[in-house]
């Protein structure tokens, strides 16, 4: 299947504008999501085997998730499950609806298997996403895996009011998802990454904590909607993670880690896209790399793994990490897990390798577990660091 995608489907898709293809794919997946029978047919092709792991009180049927940015409208929630994902992160969602940056804003660097984007949090706003999520539940199409939401800052909100802006989104979306990711690491909203500064981030996390029902209760000790097979408990404290940039120094990462205990962080998502560019003498790549925005895909892999490893070693494995950046196959996912990630996510790999990728990665992880004689995924986490 991936040969078919790589050699026949991908060349056709890549002959068209990247954002246009993205939108059309989401339209098709959104339509499929409403057709129960077709979704089942999709699942019969792509459903991954069970490779369960429990983390921050949630049960994940497998550790491979959809990274933020792919489905900002919650347009195709059931389809991602049919494509084999063990969890999804919707968004980035901001409090105010916003169009994002002017197009073109998404570029392919094909020979490096990379993307550059400067989308700028184009999204319909927290209230519209909450309404869409309520619809999926009402239609009985809610997936059997955890659903997370990536929270961004509205462009019109000055940095000084960022905490209130994030808190507004969290208040509206809180009942509709299983976990939340505070995104202060996108390079495409002016000055957003300054919010990775410890004091600014602390203010945002404090504002979100205040919105948690029964504020002060550890998310991990509360019941949540994906505690294996339970009916959704809509009003309970939700795990909150922070997503970091690959361009942060280890010292800056360590400062963020200092907030984990006081602000009851459930984990870290590492990493977002990078503003750095690989060396190249290829004139086509040079032209694409001159575009402003965040780079994802293969050139990001090593740096994001390095960050995962650093976070794992600094916390001695006590803080869950979701590893993301440049995962294109099971080997890449295994590298992230053995470096310290308990879960992984992918975006660019899906664009380059096609819809069979999740199933292939889960199968490959299962094989590696068996080969290494480990009984569960949890036992593999961080084993490459000793």
Ligand X SMILES: Cc1cc2nc3c(=O)[nH]c(=O)nc-3n(C[C@H](O)[C@H](O)[C@H](O)COP(=O)(O)O)c2cc1C
Residues numbered 367 to 386 that lie near ligand X (CB under 6 A) are none
Which of 62/117 has CB closer to ligand X?
Answer: 117
CB-based burial label for 95 (10 Å; 0-12, 13-18, 19+): buried
Q: Which is nearer to ligand X, 296 or 338 (CB)?
A: 296
Site stretch for ligand X (CB under 6 A), options 115-123, 153-161, 162-170, 279-287: 115-123
Q: Among residues 74, 173, 300, 311, which is the contact residue for ligand X, using CB under 6 A? A: 300
| C-alpha 161, offset from chain centre | 25
Q: Of 33, 154, 186, 339, which residue is the catalytic one? A: 186
What is the CB neighbour count within 10 angstroms for residue 167? 20
Least gap, CB of 324 to ligand X (angstroms): 5
Q: Which stretch binds ligand X (CB under 6 A): 27-35, 198-206, 323-331, 353-361?
A: 323-331
- The owner of tokens 């239609």 is 139
Site string for ligand X, 148-177 (x = CB under 6 A): --x---------------------------
Minimum CB distance to ligand X smaller for 260 or for 324: 324
- Which stretch in 153-161, 164-172, 279-287, 292-300 sits in contact with ligand X by CB under 6 A? 292-300
Binding window for ligand X (CB under 6 A); candidates: 7-15, 53-61, 64-72, 284-292: 64-72
Q: For helices 301-315 and 250-257, what crossing angle results, to 10°?
A: 50
The single residue among 57, 320, 325, 354 that binds ligand X, judged by CB under 6 A, is 325
The reply to whether 196 sits near ligand X by the rule CB under 6 A is no
Can you tell me the distance from the alpha carbon of 74 to that of 68, in angstroms, rounded to the nearest whole number? 11
Let me know if 186 is a catalytic residue: yes
Which parts of this chain interact with ligand X (CB under 6 A)?
67-69, 91-92, 106, 115, 117, 119, 121, 150, 183, 186, 243, 272-273, 296-297, 300, 324-327, 346-349
């Amino acid at each position: 299947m991936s040969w078919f995608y790589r050699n026949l489907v991908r060349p056709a898709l890549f002959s068209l504008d990247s954002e246009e293809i993205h939108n059309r794919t989401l339209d098709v997946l959104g339509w499929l999501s409403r057709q129960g029978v077709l979704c089942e047919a999709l699942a019969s092709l792509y459903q991954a085997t069970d490779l369960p792991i429990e983390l921050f009180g949630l049960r994940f049927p497998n550790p491979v998730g959809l990274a933020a940015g792919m489905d900002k409208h919650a347009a195709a929630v059931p389809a991602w499950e049919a494509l084999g994902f063990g969890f999804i992160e919707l968004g980035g969602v901001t409090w105010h609806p916003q169009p994002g940056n002017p197009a073109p804003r998404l570029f392919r660097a094909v020979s490096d298997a990379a993307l550059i984007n400067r989308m700028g949090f184009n999204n319909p706003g927290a209230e519209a996403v909450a309404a869409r999520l309520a619809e999926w539940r009402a239609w009985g199409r809610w997936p059997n895996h955890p659903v997370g939401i990536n929270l961004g800052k509205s462009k019109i909100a000055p940095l000084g009011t960022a905490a209130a802006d994030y808190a507004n989104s969290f208040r509206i979306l809180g009942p509709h998802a299983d976990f939340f990711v505070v995104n202060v690491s996108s390079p495409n909203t002016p000055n957003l990454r300054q919010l990775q500064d410890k004091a600014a981030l602390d203010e945002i996390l404090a504002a979100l904590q205040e919105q948690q029902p029964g504020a002060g209760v550890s998310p991990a000790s509360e019941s949540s909607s994906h505690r294996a097979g339970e009916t959704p408990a809509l009003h309970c404290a939700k795990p909150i993670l922070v997503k970091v940039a690959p361009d942060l120094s280890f010292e800056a990462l360590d400062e963020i880690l200092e907030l984990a205990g006081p602000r009851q962080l459930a984990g870290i998502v590492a990493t977002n896209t990078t503003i750095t560019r690989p060396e190249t003498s290829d004139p086509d790549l040079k032209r694409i790399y001159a575009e402003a925005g965040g780079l994802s895909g293969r050139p990001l892999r090593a740096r994001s793994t390095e960050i995962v490893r650093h976070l794992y070693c600094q916390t001695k494995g006590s803080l869950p990490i979701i590893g993301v950046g440049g995962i294109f196959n099971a080997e890449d996912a295994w590298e992230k897990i053995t470096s310290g990630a308990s879960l992984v996510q992918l975006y660019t790999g899906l664009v380059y390798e096609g819809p069979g990728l999740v199933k292939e990665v889960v199968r490959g992880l299962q094989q590696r577990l068996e080969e290494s004689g480990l009984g569960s995924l949890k036992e593999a986490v961080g084993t490459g660091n000793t």
